[in-house]
Each structure stands twice: as structure tokens, then as C-alpha cells.
């Protein structure tokens, strides 16, 4: 029986390249001179440290531009409010979201069921598996999920089996 998986994953290689490009640009641009602005990736996400809130937000804009150029969706970013950093600096944390949360997975299953297509959707950990008898119905389901803006996720369709 044909099936595919609906997932939401970050392309880590492209993300790393975009982060390196953003770090370089922040280090070289004139408007970032003497602002002690830096971008670093750690287990929480990307940490932007600067001496002013507007410089931290400008560094975030630079990172977002590099991600767009590398075709990494900004839907993976979860921007936090700026906070106090060490030695009077501003710390801006940008968390990275990967995988489909249970609530979003339930929404995907509901969208598939409401479509009246002859396919079944089942939640598997951080993905949703869709199965059906005909490839055409599976492709129609993909089109339907791509058009669903209410999810707020960057969806990929993997593991397509005939």
C-alpha cells in the first residue's frame, strides 16, 4: 500500500553555512564595529550577544537573510525576547524547532480526515504517516498539506513508497 511521511526537519548543513556567513558579515560590517556583536550556536539554539537591543535585532536580520538565501525556512526559528547578558550586554536567544509537535500532528490528521480523501493518517513520534490505495490521492494530500498555512510549519514529504 503506498505511503509517505510528513516531517519537519532543518537542513543542518545549510543552517551551519548560513550561520558562518552571518558571523562573517557581522564581523566585517561597519555598523557592527565596536558593538561586540556575536552569533553562536549552542544546545539551546542561536545566541546573539550585542551591546544594544537594536544591534542584536540587526544581527538577527542578517542571520535570517542568510537562511533565506540558503533556502532554510524561517518557520524553524522561535525568536525569544531580548534579555540581559554578561557585562551589561543584551542576549537574544533564537531557538530552533525541528519535528512535528503532537498538537500540530493532530491538526495534520484532522486536515487529512476532513478532506474526504481515501487516505489514513497516523502519528509516529515526530512525524505523520499517510497511507492510501492510490498514488493520486497521496499526491492530492501533499498538495492539501502544502496549502495549509494554519500549521505554521515547514513540511517535507519523505519515505514515499509505492
Given 61, 96, 131, the domain boundary residue is: 96
Residues 51 and 79 in one domain: yes
Residues 115 and 74 in one domain: no
What pLDDT is recorded for position 149? Answer: 79
Taking the chain (162 residues) in consecutive chunks of 10 residues, what is each chunk's mean pLDDT? 92 95 94 89 92 92 96 92 87 92 92 92 91 92 88 89 83
Given 96, 129, 146, the domain boundary residue is: 96
Residues 104 and 86 in one domain: no
What pLDDT is recorded for position 96? Answer: 92
Residues 55 and 77 in one domain: yes
CA dist list (Å): 114 to 7, 55, 109: 20, 46, 9
Given 56, 78, 96, the domain boundary residue is: 96
What pLDDT is recorded for position 11? Answer: 93
What pLDDT is recorded for position 71? Answer: 94
Residues 134 and 151 in one domain: yes
What pLDDT is recorded for position 125? Answer: 84
Residues 17 and 92 in one domain: yes
What pLDDT is recorded for position 153? Answer: 87
Name the residue range of residue 117's domain: 3-8+100-161
Residues 67 and 90 in one domain: yes
Residues 88 and 107 in one domain: no
Residues 22 and 89 in one domain: yes
Q: How many domains does the chain have?
A: 2
What's 37's domain CATH number?
3.30.70.990
What pLDDT is recorded for position 88? Answer: 85
3-state DSSP of the chain? CCEEEEECCCCHHHHHHHHHHHHHHHHHCHHHCCCCCEEEECCCEEEEEECCHHHHHHHHHHHHHHHHHCCCCHHHEEECCCEECHHHCEEEEEEECCCCCHHHHHHHHHHHHHCCCCEEEEEECCEEEEEECCHHHHHHHHHHHHHCHHHCCCCEEEEEEC
Residues 71 and 140 in one domain: no
Residues 90 and 16 in one domain: yes
Residues 144 and 156 in one domain: yes
What pLDDT is recorded for position 113? Answer: 92
Amino acid at each position: 500500500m503506498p505511503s509517505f511521511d510528513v516531517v519537519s526537519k532543518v537542513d543542518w548543513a545549510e543552517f551551519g553555512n548560513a550561520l558562518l556567513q552571518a558571523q562573517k558579515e557581522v564581523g566585517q560590517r561597519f555598523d557592527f564595529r565596536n558593538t561586540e556583536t556575536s552569533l553562536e550556536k549552542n544546545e539551546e539554539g542561536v545566541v546573539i550577544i550585542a551591546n544594544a537591543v537594536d544591534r542584536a535585532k540587526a544581527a538577527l536580520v542578517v542571520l535570517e537573510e542568510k537562511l533565506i538565501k540558503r533556502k532554510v525556512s524561517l518557520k524553524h526559528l522561535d525568536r525569544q525576547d531580548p534579555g540581559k547578558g554578561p557585562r551589561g550586554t543584551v542576549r537574544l536567544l533564537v531557538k530552533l524547532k525541528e519535528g512535528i509537535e503532537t498538537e500540530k500532528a493532530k491538526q495534520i490528521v484532522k486536515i487529512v480526515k476532513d478532506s474526504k480523501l481515501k487516505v489514513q493518517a497516523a502519528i509516529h513520534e515526530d512525524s505523520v504517516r499517510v497511507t492510501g490505495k492510490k498514488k493520486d490521492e497521496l499526491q492530492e494530500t501533499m498538495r492539501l498539506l502544502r496549502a495549509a498555512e494554519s500549521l505554521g510549519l515547514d513540511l517535507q514529504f519523505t519515505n514515499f513508497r509505492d
